[in-house]
């Protein structure tokens, strides 16, 4: 997938949530060219072509980033801040997917430029339905400049 379009960049450290997300998207044919990364540091390396992703064509940007808020190494808020402050990446849609309903997290995410803030629903069915709706919206309905 080195030089192919990346549709979804899933940045999620919780293995169960990542597996449910990928399963729901695959079931509805929304997971082609999905890349799953497990922490914020890995996400930044991927987006900017550093570390293990040195040499990756950074002109190939994901259609959407599903980003967890609380992660090891680099938090989702810091990843969001860096993405949205760089001219080359600031237009990539970012959906914060988290279990946090804390007002300060919601406010800070929006101040940093998040495109959507979604609290992960409880229960397999509700979680799957929400993921499919998000995938469909960001891949099939939403229009982003340059894509």
In a domain, 96, yes or no: yes
Please state whether beta strands 62-68 and 6-11 pair in parallel, antiparallel, or not at all (unpaired): parallel
In a domain, 117, yes or no: yes
pTM for the whole structure = 0.91
* Separation in Å, CA 146 to CA 3, 18, 61: 17, 28, 10
In a domain, 143, yes or no: no
In a domain, 16, yes or no: yes
Q: Are 136 and 28 in contact (CB under 8 A)?
A: yes
Could you read off the pLDDT of 83-93 as tens digits, one per residue? Answer: 999 999 999 99
Could you read off the pLDDT of 28-58 as tens digits, one per residue? Answer: 888 778 999 999 999 999 999 999 999 999 9
- Mean pLDDT, the chain, rounded, equals 90
In a domain, 113, yes or no: yes
Domain total in the chain = 1
What does the angle CA 3 – CA 89 – CA 28 come to, to the nearest 5 degrees? 60
């Amino acid at each position: 997938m080195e030089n192919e379009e990346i549709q979804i960049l899933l940045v999620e450290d919780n293995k169960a949530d990542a597996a449910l997300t990928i399963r729901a998207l695959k079931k509805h044919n929304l997971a082609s060219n999905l890349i799953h990364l497990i922490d914020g540091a890995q996400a930044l390396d991927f987006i900017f072509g550093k570390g293990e992703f040195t040499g990756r064509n950074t002109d190939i940007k994901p259609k959407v980033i599903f980003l967890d808020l609380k992660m090891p190494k680099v938090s989702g808020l810091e990843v969001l801040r860096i993405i949205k402050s760089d001219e080359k990446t600031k237009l990539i849609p970012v959906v914060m997917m988290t279990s946090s309903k804390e007002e300060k997290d919601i406010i800070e995410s929006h101040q940093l430029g998040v495109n959507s803030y979604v609290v992960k629903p409880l229960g397999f069915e509700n979680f799957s339905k929400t993921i499919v709706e998000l995938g469909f919206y960001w891949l099939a309905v939403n229009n982003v400049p340059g894509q």
